[in-house]
Structure 1
């Protein structure tokens, strides 16, 4: 039986939206961009998929309220994931954290050489067998996001891109 911090997915899966740099259209499920730069829920070197539960939230998170950059927006389907639902105050309390975790100044802390609270919580959740988290969007009030640490490996949740017309490129050659 899942514990209180697990968000059960419907048998049909969870629909997510991801906006990302078009240059990487041939690698929509790599997580390498997050690994290269680090993120709210991952240290540098740890691939992570960041996506949103709503299309508008994906766009807002991608642009971070600044200039509207070109983006590729893709629909994803996630199945079989154990996600800690950090939008639920009961789950936060169970994990021993409060809503202030969502306001963690992770970039500033990394710049100071310190470990953000979100990275510490990530480590604990991975040890507890979680594949990722659901968390409130910082850029789109009322929206929710997912950070996924494990996907498409043996015994891992399945994440697929919805591309019925096979329009996404398969190699970087489309950018040459």
Structure 2
């Protein structure tokens, strides 16, 4: 539930992110989403898409198609202000219609329209939210996170769990 100022309380999460192995050296960039736009971000706005379950990350990455090679990284998210759109009480408190989950965002973008999810993003960011928790479309019962702000001074911390430092630091391993 939001605090009296309308901001969600800070929370910590373990997340899973599946992405194209070529970008292993940039696991926290959000640039792929910025390049093409997504459910929760317009073109040009970096966004991290991750899942709260490993199986959901895999299902979302493949989108029900061919099983493409992927790198799956565990992320640690601390002090994030996420709006939980899977909670009916949260939807009600924020006057968000549950039909937001059925938003045809890709079709709207293809027609040059602003998807309802992008309008909601703008509103929630204005209220201090760093992102949202939303239901997975590819993994029934699974949940995803779209993160709009991370790792700026004084902001939440998003880190990749890599205790043995196995992730490359540059693209050189793919050349």
Normalising to structure 2: TM-score of the pair?
0.95
SS of the counterpart of 1:39? coil
Task: Give the structure 2 partner of residue 119 of structure 1.
Answer: 118
Q: Is contact 1:89–1:98 with CA below 8 Å preserved after alignment?
A: no
Task: Give the structure 2 partner of residue 150 of structure 1.
Answer: 149
What is the CA distance between 1:105 and its match in structure 2? 0.7
Unaligned 5+ segments in structure 2 are none
Normalising to structure 1: TM-score of the pair?
0.95
Task: Give the structure 2 partner of residue 168 of structure 1.
Answer: 167
Equivalent residues in 2 for 1:76-155, closer than 5 Å: 76-155=75-154
SS of the counterpart of 1:170? coil
- Please give the per-residue CA displacement for 1:25-71, whole angstroms capped at 9, x wherever unaligned: 00000000000000000000000000000000000000000111100
Task: Give the structure 1 partner of residue 42 of structure 2.
Answer: 43
Q: Is contact 2:133–2:143 with CA below 8 Å preserved after alignment?
A: yes
The CA distance in 1 between the partners of 2:80 and 2:57, in whole Å, is 20
Q: Is contact 2:7–2:127 with CA below 8 Å preserved after alignment?
A: no
What is the CA distance between 1:7 and its match in structure 2? 5.4
The CA distance in 2 between the partners of 1:135 and 1:2, in whole Å, is 20
